[in-house]
């Protein structure tokens, strides 16, 4: 009789216990977007937001955050006046007390945008380009690819300079810097985001001939956001298995309408602009 009661008790208790233990040992499928996608924007003063009224809200990484939506966390690791090459007196990868490069690595990003090279075109540094530029760009790429997150890396072409200011020369950017970035991208099979051509017709958006105003920063952000979201839709962005849990090697954006972006600003547009873009991830959400 005792054995009968024990059998009935176990028959009722075990299914309930199994249901309680199931989430620990058999987690359900993870949906895309469960983890925030971290984006590290590496660059110089154009990335940092030099000359803007409020770089925390107007620099292109801040605009990129607004365009991509809260599924992403975009961080600004720009540092004014610094170069990609390590042989100059202001190398980004050895930036002294600022630690921007170290902080960018420590953020363990899923996506990295590298936008350096403008300051490398300065007169004292241009003689170093042949020996150092591609080597140091490869070294930076190696440092990010060695991270646990195995980030997807974009190489951004520098924006044009409107003449020669602070010995920054547009001719060197176009003829020396950009071809070397493209060569490394081809060698490493990395995507390139061209920021030179889209900004070339809008030189009035560079008030000091080097740094974009708010409208120019938005234009940069739109180019980067368009490329990221297009690649997400195509399923070409690969992620590693970072410390935030098991993540798929290939993550696709949810299907639906393509992202809609505000039209490019006219050359005479005012520097104060509003973000009218809504990411496809933000549509349909209640306010």
What are the tens digits of pLDDT across the range 25-43? 222 222 334 479 999 999 9
How confident is the model at residue 139, as a pLDDT? 98
Work out the burial of residue 50: count CB atoms within 10 Å of its CB; fewer than 13 is exposed, 13-18 middle, 19 or more buried: middle
- 273 phi-psi bin (left φ>0, alpha ψ -120 to 50, beta other): beta
For the segment 242-284, what is each residue's pLDDT rounded down to a tens digit?
A: 444 333 333 333 333 334 444 455 544 444 444 444 444 444 4
How confident is the model at residue 264, as a pLDDT? 52
Which CATH number goes with the domain that contains 228? 3.40.50.1110
Give the integer Cα–Cα distance in Å for 273 and 52: 12
How confident is the model at residue 164, as a pLDDT? 78
How confident is the model at residue 255, as a pLDDT? 32
Please give the helix or strand (H or E) that residue 156 lies within, else none: strand 152-156
Work out the burial of residue 54: count CB atoms within 10 Å of its CB; fewer than 13 is exposed, 13-18 middle, 19 or more buried: exposed
Examine residue 31 and state whether it is found in any structural domain, yes or no.
Answer: no
Examine residue 229 and state whether it is found in any structural domain, yes or no.
Answer: yes
Q: Could you tell me the two tokens for 234?
A: 């195509």
Examine residue 12 and state whether it is found in any structural domain, yes or no.
Answer: no
- Mean pLDDT, the chain, as a whole number? 80
CB 61 within 8 A of CB 54: no
Structural domain harbouring 74: 37-234
Examine residue 49 and state whether it is found in any structural domain, yes or no.
Answer: yes
| pLDDT > 90: percent of the chain | 64
pLDDT at 54 over 90: yes
How confident is the model at residue 165, as a pLDDT? 81
DSSP-derived secondary structure letter, 262: P
The tally of domains found in the chain comes to: 1
How confident is the model at residue 1, as a pLDDT? 52
pLDDT at 73 over 60: yes
Q: Regarding predicted confidence, which is higher, 54 or 276? A: 54
Examine residue 186 and state whether it is found in any structural domain, yes or no.
Answer: yes
CA 77 vs CA 98, 113, 235, 256: distances in Å: 10, 10, 26, 32
pTM (two decimals): 0.75
How confident is the model at residue 166, as a pLDDT? 86
For the segment 211-238, what is each residue's pLDDT rounded down to a tens digit?
A: 999 999 999 999 999 999 999 999 888 6
Examine residue 136 and state whether it is found in any structural domain, yes or no.
Answer: yes
3-state secondary structure 227-244: HHHHHHHHCCCECCCCCC
Examine residue 7 and state whether it is found in any structural domain, yes or no.
Answer: no
For the segment 77-126, what is each residue's pLDDT rounded down to a tens digit?
A: 999 999 999 999 999 999 988 999 999 999 999 999 999 999 999 998 98
How confident is the model at residue 35, as a pLDDT? 77
């Amino acid at each position: 009789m005792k054995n009968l009661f024990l059998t009935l008790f176990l028959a009722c208790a075990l299914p309930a216990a199994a249901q309680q233990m199931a989430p620990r040992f058999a987690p359900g499928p993870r949906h895309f977007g469960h983890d925030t996608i971290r984006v590290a924007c590496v660059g110089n003063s154009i990335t940092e937001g030099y000359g803007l009224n409020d770089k925390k809200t107007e620099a292109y990484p801040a605009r990129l955050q607004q365009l991509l939506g809260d599924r992403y966390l975009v961080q600004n690791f720009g540092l004014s006046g610094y170069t990609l090459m390590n042989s100059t007196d202001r190398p980004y990868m050895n930036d002294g007390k600022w630690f921007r490069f170290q902080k960018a690595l420590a953020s363990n990003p899923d996506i990295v945008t590298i936008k350096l090279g403008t300051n490398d075109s300065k007169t004292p540094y241009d003689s170093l380009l042949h020996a150092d530029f591609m080597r140091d760009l490869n070294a930076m790429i190696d440092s990010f690819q060695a991270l646990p997150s195995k980030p997807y890396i974009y190489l951004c072409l520098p924006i044009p300079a409107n003449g020669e200011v602070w010995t920054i020369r547009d001719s060197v950017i176009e003829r020396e810097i950009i071809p070397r970035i493209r060569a490394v991208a081809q060698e490493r099979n990395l995507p390139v985001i061209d920021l030179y051509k889209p900004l070339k017709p809008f030189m009035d958006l560079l008030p000091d001939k080097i740094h974009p105003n708010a409208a120019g920063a938005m234009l940069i952000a739109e180019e980067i956001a368009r490329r990221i979201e297009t690649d997400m839709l195509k399923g070409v962005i690969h992620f590693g298995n970072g410390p935030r849990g098991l993540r798929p090697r290939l993550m696709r954006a949810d299907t639906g309408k393509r992202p809609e972006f505000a039209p490019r600003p006219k050359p005479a547009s005012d520097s104060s602009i509003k973000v009218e873009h809504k990411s496809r991830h933000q549509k349909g959400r209640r306010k």
